[in-house]
């Protein structure tokens, strides 16, 4: 029995496989929000993103990639688990198994804690690029060492600082602002003032991409667990993601989509567009 059979149950999926073609991504959902510090509900994110993905146009004109033709394998959702340690362990094992099978994991959250599990299983020569309003570099959050507000701190304790790139930060503790200076980063304010994203990633070729939907201004993405004013637009985010074309994308995740606070559904649609764009970008380079 494989880890994916042990940990994952098949629910509504967005599988689009024609014959025996190798998938460009292998998707699984992580409906987990147990360490959420503000607004709960991102456990419902995976299926909300799937639902939106079925409705949107996925031909990417700028990249000239037809998402309708991209083979996507959707494995379903991770079982509910009470403790974050159990969840990241399961995510880590399924991720590793997929990589060993030559597949590219695409994970839909759920809270950001899952990235601790997935990136821990990524190749040593890969870098993590995080798009997020927060740095998630607190030492602990409400007594928890492993949570959606600490995952990057925990990762940075066991990996070289050169493996991290942070984009879009604007809301953090004083200590986190001190810590983020040790890694490559660009803030929301710098992006909005026109500082170039391109130069930040010029030398990085093997990337795991993690997109927290709260990088967007709440006007564009109200349906997140921890909204922060002063963010960028959906358009600006999608343009940055397209600039990853030509890089080797070893995997990605999209986290913190919270349909409970997304009355218009606009955040789920933005998350589905991020998913579609990352699939298109990933398809342009072999794994």
Which residue lies nearer to Mn ion by CB, 16 or 260? 260
Q: Of 33 and 212, which CB lies nearer to Mn ion in the complex structure?
A: 212
Beta-sheet strands, E only, within 68-163: 72-78, 105-109, 127-131
Closer residue to Mn ion in complex, CB, 18/142: 142
Give the neighbor-by-neighbor strand order of the sheet with 206-212. Answer: 8-9, 72-78, 25-30, 105-109, 248-255, 206-212, 127-131, 164-169, 184-187
Closest by CA to 46, choosing from 119, 114, 136, 147, is 114
CB of 49 to Mn ion, least distance (A): 16
State how far the Cα of 275 lies from the Cα of 67, in Å rounded to an integer.
10
- Closer of 7 and 119 to Mn ion (Cβ): 119
Q: Contact residues for Mn ion (CB under 5 A)?
A: 132-134, 212, 214
Nearer to Mn ion, 75 or 133 (CB): 133
- Smallest distance from Mn ion to CB 14, Å: 24
- Taking the complex as a whole, the smallest distance from the CB of residue 51 to Mn ion amounts, in Å, to 22
Output the six-digit token pair for 95.
């991720």
Minimum CB distance to Mn ion, residue 203 (Å): 26
CA dist., res. 218 & res. 11, Å (int) = 29
What residues does 131 pair with on adjacent strands? 167, 211
| Paired tokens of 37 | 């510090």
Q: How far is the CB of 226 from Mn ion (least distance, A)?
A: 6
């Amino acid at each position: 029995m494989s880890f994916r059979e042990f940990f994952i149950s098949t629910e509504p999926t967005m599988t689009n496989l024609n014959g025996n073609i190798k998938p460009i991504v292998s998707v699984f959902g992580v409906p987990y929000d147990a360490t959420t510090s503000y607004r709960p509900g991102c456990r419902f994110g995976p299926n909300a993103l799937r639902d939106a993905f079925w409705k949107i146009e996925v031909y990417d004109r700028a990249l000239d990639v037809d998402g309708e033709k991209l083979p996507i394998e959707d494995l379903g959702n991770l079982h509910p688990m009470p403790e974050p340690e159990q969840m990241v362990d399961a995510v880590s094992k399924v991720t590793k198994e997929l990589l060993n099978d030559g597949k590219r994991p695409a994970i839909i959250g759920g809270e950001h804690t899952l990235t601790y599990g997935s990136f821990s299983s990524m190749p040593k020569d890969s870098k993590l690029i995080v798009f997020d309003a927060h740095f998630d570099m607190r030492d602990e959050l409400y007594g928890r060492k492993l949570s959606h507000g600490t995952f990057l701190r925990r990762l940075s304790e066991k990996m070289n600082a050169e493996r991290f790139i942070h984009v879009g930060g604007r809301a953090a503790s004083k200590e986190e602002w001190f810590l983020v200076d040790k890694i490559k980063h660009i803030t929301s304010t710098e992006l909005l003032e026109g500082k170039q994203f391109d130069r930040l990633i010029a030398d990085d070729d093997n990337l795991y991409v993690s997109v927290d939907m709260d990088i967007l201004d709440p006007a564009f993405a109200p349906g997140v667990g921890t909204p922060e004013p002063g963010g960028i637009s959906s358009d600006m985010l999608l343009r940055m993601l397209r600039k990853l074309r030509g890089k080797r994308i070893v995997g990605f995740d999209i986290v913190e989509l919270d349909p409970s606070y997304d009355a218009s559904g606009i955040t789920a649609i933005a998350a589905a567009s991020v998913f579609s764009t990352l699939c298109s970008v990933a398809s342009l380079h072999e794994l």
